[in-house]
Chains A and B, each alone.
Chain A
Amino acid sequence: MLSFVLIALASLFFTGVIIRTKSITAGRKGPGIMQPVKDVIRLMKKGAVYSQTTSIVFRLAPVVYFCTVAMAALLIPFGSSRGVISFNGDFIFFAYLLGLGKFFNIIAAMDTGSSFEGMGASREALYSLFAEPAFFIILGSLALLTGNTSFYDIFSALHLGSYITYALAVLAALVLAMIAMIENSRLPIDDPKTHLELTMVHEVMILDNSGFDLGLILYAGYLKFAIFGAIIANLFTGGMSLLWALVVFVGTQFSFAVVIGLIESFMARFRMNHNAQFIFALSSVSFLIFLGVLLVLGKFI
């Protein structure tokens, strides 16, 4: 339960820090850190406009998407306390839950009958296809390293000792961070700021949502960021006491948000054709992490 509360708290501030970082690097003062939350509350107080081409799927999708993300947050452990739901193989459940959310997003986008949403939907389906193997291979490497198969067991048994395990953990954190940016459609895969349809992936899929639905979708996005930040923090808190684990957690979430802000300020988005190979490169790098784990375990005689 503790991890769920922490993730919920972190999600309130995460996007605010990103936007603030971007503003400061651009020389502006920027909106307050709680502004995204205020946006969500404002949206939830509004009415909605539904397109006449849409059906019940369009009304159902934001609800299902939010529930999948909230349920996924229940699976993440924190330090020495388990997640609310924890069993052997729960990371498989985690990945497929997020996949369920994506499925509904994609069909809701196609439901509007607009070519913009269709474009975003087709790209989203392709990119999530390539990002999945990276996640599974990293968790496979961690499962191999620690000999366990649930989030809690893996992270609590992960003791980083030698140089190489630290390096592998940093590399895994980098790959997970990139997966998080792909899932949340941030640079360098997708630009949340541009409203040119040819250059968007995720942002264009929610063009026709409004009111409560849009608030749900935005908040689910913030939650997803916090979830991935929590997983990255977990890589480094194996076996620490509660206080230190808290410090590492807050530090990781904050620095993750700042790094995303910096990347968004200084990098342009990749050419759309190059996105697919970049995402697949993540899977190759995670195979190298697997190789590193094999080295650590001394499987090479």
Chain B
Amino acid sequence: MTNILLILFIISLLYLSIANRLVTYIRVLALQGFILFGVTFLALEEINTLNLVLILLETVVFKAVAVPVFLSRLIKRNHITREAEPYLPNFVSLIITTVIVVVTVLLANSIKDTHVDKIFFIVALSSLFAGLYIIASRKKIITHVMGYLIIENGVFVLSLAVGNEMPMLVNLGVMLDIFASVLILGIFLNKIGDVFKDVNVDQLSNLKDY
């Protein structure tokens, strides 16, 4: 069952590479939150109940509800336009994301450690690279944050893979999530959002030294 959910996770990554509107990105992030909730529920059986409840709440509350709500409020408040503006056409993004998944499968195959369930490793690494690619290929700042959230989902999946032996690692993943929300709150909901009138990253290059 975890395998099915993780395959759904990868399908959501593929869908993300051809999505056009920011609303779709937010919906996919919420969906990924729910998928991770399911995976956590099924995979982490051996840690104590309090810790488990905490982690479950965290996935649902933060990943699936809080962060998407924050992001949609953000988009409305800063009047960010609907389109996610990519540098490369969507077709090429799709091909690149597929290639990322293929390469990750081959990489995972060459790891000889039998303790890690390979599918977790594949999903984590794919989300990592896909998130990095999304950051690199989109013009808006808000999509940078979304790419970061995807990377974070990937790291969370990886921590789940070894979560039964090292429950502290999962807690670290939770910390990462809270850090991300603070990041969003701090940078955007603060007045800095008002000072930065332009929502494209091109203007950020004005910050360089020379």
Instruction: List residues of chain A with CB under 8 Å of any chain B CB.
Output: 163-164, 167, 171, 274, 276-278, 280-281, 283-285, 287-288, 291-292, 294-295, 300-301
Which of these binds chain A: B25-33, B98-106, B144-152, B167-175?
A: B98-106
Range for the number of chain B residues in contact with chain A: 20 to 34
Asked if A284 contacts B98 (CB within 8 A), the reply is yes
5 cross-chain pairs, A with B, having the tightest CB-CB distances, nearest first: A300-B118, A167-B4, A284-B98, A277-B91, A164-B3
Apart from A281-B94, A284-B101, 18 more pairs, CB < 8 Å: A163-B1, A164-B4, A274-B20, A276-B91, A277-B91, A277-B94, A278-B18, A280-B95, A281-B14, A284-B14, A284-B94, A285-B14, A288-B11, A291-B7, A291-B105, A292-B7, A300-B109, A301-B118
| 8 Å CB interface, B10-64 against A | 10-11, 14-15, 18, 20
Name 7 A/B residue pairs within 8 A (Cβ), A-sorted. A164-B4, A274-B90, A284-B101, A287-B101, A291-B101, A294-B105, A300-B119
- Asked if B108 is at the interface of the complex by the 8 Å CB criterion, the answer is yes
* Chain B residues near A283 (CB-CB < 8 A): 98
Instruction: Give the docked Cα–Cα distance between A20 and B114 (Å).
Output: 55
Instruction: List residues of chain B with CB under 8 Å of any chain A CB.
Output: 1, 3-4, 7, 10-11, 14-15, 18, 20, 90-91, 94-95, 97-98, 101-102, 105, 108-109, 112, 114, 118-119, 122
**Nearest CB to that of A289 among chain B residues?**
B7
With A167-B4, A295-B119, A300-B109 known as contacts, the answer to whether A277 contacts B98 (CB < 8 A) is no
* Chain B residues near A285 (CB-CB < 8 A): 11, 14
Q: How far is the CB of A212 from chain B (nearest CB, A)?
A: 40
Most chain A CB within a 10 A radius of its CB, from B4, B97, B118 = B4
Asked if B3 contacts A292 (CB within 8 A), the reply is yes
* Chain A residues near B94 (CB-CB < 8 A): 277, 280-281, 284
Asked if A284 contacts B97 (CB within 8 A), the reply is yes
* Chain A residues near B15 (CB-CB < 8 A): 281
* Chain A residues near B105 (CB-CB < 8 A): 291, 294
Q: How far is the CB of A8 from chain B (nearest CB, A)?
A: 36
Instruction: Give the docked Cα–Cα distance between A294 and B102 (Å).
Output: 13
Instruction: Give the docked Cα–Cα distance between A148 and B17 (Å).
Output: 35
Instruction: Give the docked Cα–Cα distance between A281 and B144 (Å).
Output: 24
Instruction: Give the docked Cα–Cα distance between A114 and B1 (Å).
Output: 54
Instruction: Give the docked Cα–Cα distance between A54 and B101 (Å).
Output: 48
Asked if B119 contacts A281 (CB within 8 A), the reply is no
Asked if A287 contacts B119 (CB within 8 A), the reply is no
Q: How far is the CB of B137 from chain A (nearest CB, A)?
A: 14
Instruction: Give the docked Cα–Cα distance between A243 and B95 (Å).
Output: 44
Q: How far is the CB of B93 from chain A (nearest CB, A)?
A: 8
Q: How far is the CB of A298 from chain B (nearest CB, A)?
A: 10
Asked if B10 contacts A277 (CB within 8 A), the reply is no
* Chain A residues near B119 (CB-CB < 8 A): 295, 300
Asked if A288 contacts B18 (CB within 8 A), the reply is no
**Nearest CB to that of B1 among chain A residues?**
A163
Asked if B7 contacts A277 (CB within 8 A), the reply is no
Asked if A287 contacts B98 (CB within 8 A), the reply is yes
* Chain B residues near A287 (CB-CB < 8 A): 98, 101-102
Instruction: Give the docked Cα–Cα distance between A171 and B20 (Å).
Output: 24
**Nearest CB to that of A292 among chain B residues?**
B7
**Nearest CB to that of B18 among chain A residues?**
A277
